[in-house]
Amino acid sequence: MTRIDESRNGLQPGERLEPRGRRKRRGEPASPLAGLDPLLVLTVRRIVAAHRSHRGPLLPVLHALQDELGHVPPDATPILAHELNLSRAEVHGVITFYTDFRREPAPPSTVRICRAEACQAVGAEQLVACAAEHGHALGKPGPVAVSQVFCLGNCALGPSVEVDGRVLGRVTPQRLAALLAERTAS
Amino acid sequence: MTVYVPRDSAARSVGADLVADALAAHGVPVVRNGSRGMLWLEPFVEVTTAAGRVGYGPVSPADVPGLLEAGLLDGGAHPLRVGVVDDVPWLARQNRVTFARVGITDPLSPEDYLAHGGLAGLRRALTLTPADVVAEVTESGLRGRGGAGFPAGVKWKTVLGCPGPLKFVCANADEGDSGTFADRMMLEGDPFALIEGMTIAAHAVGATEGYVYVRSEYPDAVATLRTAIDLARARGWLGLDVLGSGLTFDLHVRVGAGAYICGEETSMLESLEGKRGMVRAKPPIPAVQGLFGKPTVVNNVLTLATVPAILASGAAAYRRLGFERSRGTQVFQLGGNTARGGIVETAFGTTLGELVHDYGGGTRSGRPVRCVQVGGPLGAYVPTSQFGLPMDYESFAAAGAMLGHGGVVVFDDTVDMAAQARFAFEFCAEESCGKCTPCRVGAVRGVEVIDRIRAGQEREKNLVLLEDLCVLMTDGSLCAMGGLTPMPVRSALTHFAADFEPPAPGPVEPVPADAAKAGSRAEPAADDLATVASGVEPQALPEVSS
């Protein structure tokens, strides 16, 4: 949670977050937000508030949350559900349906190799093999996360690889190996 | 004198930013235009001269000093000089209507847009009644460019006929099909055209809000479009009183999150509503009950971006182009193993061979062309014997193929078609939304059946089973994902049956009878899906232990 900027939430370090709404009566179940990191609660509330006017705001909210925190922490699910008046199952269902949303912090570097047909036709599989040869099999955890993607829209200049958000065209195995080595070393 | 270096992400993928920086470092001011679509020449530098715009490409940053020395700024001779761009035969043969401005203008310059005919369509539309605009679009013969080819005017008429104060216009920019990149190039190269087209659609059907659903793999397109919308709002092209006409229409950009299925229109609507991208059963069609249950126009980016040109020049001018029931132009996209890939916008009816050979110049590898896949991952593999096919919706459908979004992916003779067929199922298994069983389960079973056929296990029986599975998926799936996955499979099997023979040398490894009987359950399905398609045997991938 160190990535949350406390000052942006108007909270002093160490200050306690009072639960919103009326006081709990005896015998009532605990607040759905009880025990959650108050900074996370405030962050989610702020992002949701910024998207209140949108219709069906869950996806833009999740994108904004991931942009800020680097991932969507599992604890965000009950807060999102509470704030958006959805069930936790609905929120969980959406987060897990879309491959873009990460539930763990992102590795320092991400490399996505396009494995769709147009890139297959010009050697995408050699790139996948090359990555594996250099210790970066698809999906293997590490400082450089190599994964597959189906089409980066660069089909005339394949094989394409997205390195830390930037699309590269006509990538040779040698170049990929160099890119991976660079990122593994740093 | 103006020097242009494209800002298109394809050009950037091969170093356009570095070239622009190198030019700037030499004190040359650079305008970042869209791409002309001659992608093999990227980064493609253009300079205005008295004779017209002169192009150089492909330019690397290291070429810049030499180019300047050779007189780049006056269009001087250099080995990379391709001549006056408008006279390059590859471009001169095309008929650019939808892509008329792409590559020529600065995509984020409203002045450029106006200077090149922008807003003429919207201004004319605003003088017509909604019904007349719909009639004009119907009369033009414009059909949906997303792949299905449904007449745009008919769809608009349905929405216009629906009562209610709240209607939507949605542009589908979830261009997930491999081999297609025209939506992206339009968004990055002429975003105002889409904005104008959507505004015309809003006027025509009585909508007040619009959404553009762009896939997350296109961050440059998202950024360009968002900036363009802000510029358009500031100029009164969007908002409460569009061009002083009283029309209220505003646009929002929504970014997908890595789900191919969200390119299917009902799934896209679910995603826009903030839900999982699960396909809806039709009817009700989105035109009647679409986004948030309201009447909704859902069109592809290219369909909507073509509308301004139709309104500006009239339906008859557009209708004159084309072939039989496919009127106007199609933006074909040449990709894969092609020597000269890029955007070929031409009237329907040009042949596949003309595209692949005349425009594409054969393969990039220099080997013979073996086949092409037309229409994305759900489109058929077409052998060279069918290269005489005219590019139009009906001719392709009659040949058991589909035109789709106009993507043409070229393969050379090293391609293993059984691996491609397997990949079609693998892709479907990966990207299926899971709502209907034929798609969700059929795709996994398809991978297994093809593996058994390739291994020579009960070949004849499994071929029958595969055909049965294809029929079931085609007839029983909710949407085109499961319904069209059999198309690449069947076409590969029909035209390239030899690739499905078991490997000739050595006896086939006998498979335990119980494993074959138990079928898929006995097979490590998860591993199957993880192994590599496309000709690389699993064992060829070195296992890395550390």
State the Cα–Cα distance between residues B385 and B387, nearest whole angstrom: 6
Q: Which of B289, B300, B295 is nearest to B161 (CA)?
A: B295
Contact B500, B454 (CB under 8 A): yes
**Residue B384: what pLDDT?**
97
Cβ distance of B176 and A165 shorter than 8 Å: no
Using the predicted structure, report yes or no on whether residue B545 has a pLDDT greater than 50.
no
Q: What's the Rg (C-alpha) of chain B? A: 25
CA distance B5 to chain A (A): 17
Domains of chain A with CATH codes: 6-97 (no CATH), 109-185 (3.40.30.10)
Where are chain B's structural domains?
Answer: 3-92, 110-319, 321-412, 417-540
**Residue A31: what pLDDT?**
76
Is B537's Cβ below 8 Å from some Cβ in A? Answer: no
Q: 3-class DSSP state for residue B334?
A: strand
- For B110-319, CATH gives 3.40.50.11540
**Residue A25: what pLDDT?**
64
pLDDT in tens, B291-307: 999 999 999 999 999 99
pLDDT band at B528 (very low <50, low <70, confident <90, very high): very low
Using the predicted structure, report yes or no on whether residue B506 has a pLDDT greater than 80.
no
Angle between helices B486-495 and B459-476 (to 10 degrees): 140
Burial group, residue B303, by CB count within 10 angstroms (0-12, 13-18, 19+): buried
Burial group, residue A151, by CB count within 10 angstroms (0-12, 13-18, 19+): buried
pLDDT band at A28 (very low <50, low <70, confident <90, very high): low
H or E element in which residue B381 lies: strand B381-383
Using the predicted structure, report yes or no on whether residue B527 has a pLDDT greater than 50.
no
Query: Which tokens belong to B198?
Result: 């959507």
The C-alpha angle with vertex B344 and arms to B339 and B350, in degrees rounded to 5, equals 100
Among B residues 496-535, those touching chain A with beta carbons less than 8 Å apart:
530, 532-535
Residues on chain A touching B257 (C-beta within 8 angstroms) = 59, 62-63, 98-101
Q: 3-class DSSP state for residue B382?
A: strand
Cβ distance of B176 and A151 shorter than 8 Å: yes
Query: Which tokens belong to B299?
Result: 């069109």
Can you list the positions of beta strands (E) in B191-295? 209-214, 250-255
State the Cα–Cα distance between residues A161 and A169, nearest whole angstrom: 7
H or E element in which residue B510 lies: none
Contact B196, B229 (CB under 8 A): no
Using the predicted structure, report yes or no on whether residue B510 has a pLDDT greater than 70.
no
pLDDT in tens, B210-236: 999 999 999 999 999 999 999 999 999
Q: Provide the phi-psi class of B254: left if phi over 0, else alpha when psi is between -120 and 50, else beta.
A: beta
pLDDT in tens, A79-108: 999 999 999 999 999 999 999 999 999 899
Find the residue in A nearest to B168 (Cα).
Answer: A55
Cβ distance of A58 and B274 shorter than 8 Å: yes
pLDDT band at A137 (very low <50, low <70, confident <90, very high): very high
When mean pLDDT is compared across A37-46, B292-301, B379-388, B529-538, the lowest value belongs to B529-538
State the Cα–Cα distance between residues B172 and B526, nearest whole angstrom: 32
H or E element in which residue A124 lies: helix A124-133
At A56, which amino acid appears? G
Using the predicted structure, report yes or no on whether residue B463 has a pLDDT greater than 50.
yes
Q: Report the CATH fold assignment for B3-92.
A: Glutaredoxin (3.40.30)
Query: Which tokens belong to A167?
Result: 């699309």
**Residue B534: what pLDDT?**
37
For residues B121-146, average pLDDT: 97
Q: For the CA atoms of A32, A35, A40, A43, what is the dihedral angle to 10 degrees?
A: 50
Using the predicted structure, report yes or no on whether residue B361 has a pLDDT greater than 60.
yes
Nearest to A121 among B255, B337, B407 (CB): B337
Q: Which of B377, B512, B523 is nearest to B451 (CA)?
A: B523
For residues A28-33, average pLDDT: 72
CA-CA-CA-CA torsion sign (B471, B473, B475, B481): negative
Among B residues 201-230, those touching chain A with beta carbons less than 8 Å apart:
216-219
Using the predicted structure, report yes or no on whether residue A21 has a pLDDT greater than 70.
no
Is B409's Cβ below 8 Å from some Cβ in A? Answer: yes
Is B175's Cβ below 8 Å from some Cβ in A? Answer: yes
Cα distances (Å, whole numbers) of residue B521 to B42, B448, B451, B470, B518: 49, 10, 14, 20, 6
Q: 3-class DSSP state for residue B426?
A: helix
State the Cα–Cα distance between residues A73 and A71, nearest whole angstrom: 6
Q: Report the CATH fold assignment for B321-412.
A: Ubiquitin-like (UB roll) (3.10.20)
**Residue A142: what pLDDT?**
87
Cβ distance of A169 and B14 shorter than 8 Å: yes
Angle between helices B130-140 and B301-313 (to 10 degrees): 100
pLDDT in tens, B109-123: 999 999 999 999 999
Query: Which tokens belong to B124?
Result: 């004319």
Using the predicted structure, report yes or no on whether residue B311 has a pLDDT greater than 90.
yes
Q: Which of B388, B476, B479 is nearest to B437 (CA)?
A: B476
State the Cα–Cα distance between residues A115 and A150, nearest whole angstrom: 6
**Residue B503: what pLDDT?**
76
**Residue A33: what pLDDT?**
83
**pTM for the full predicted model:** 0.90
State the Cα–Cα distance between residues A15 and B320, nearest whole angstrom: 72
Contact A124, A114 (CB under 8 A): yes
Partners of B49 in beta bridges: B52
Is B461's Cβ below 8 Å from some Cβ in A? Answer: no
Is A177's Cβ below 8 Å from some Cβ in B? Answer: no
Using the predicted structure, report yes or no on whether residue B137 has a pLDDT greater than 80.
yes
**Residue A79: what pLDDT?**
97
For residues B372-387, average pLDDT: 96
Nearest to A100 among B40, B257, B274 (CB): B257
Phi, then psi, of B373 in degrees rounded to 5: -105, 125
Q: Report the CATH fold assignment for B417-540.
A: de novo design (two linked rop proteins) (1.20.1440)
Q: 3-class DSSP state for residue B383?
A: strand
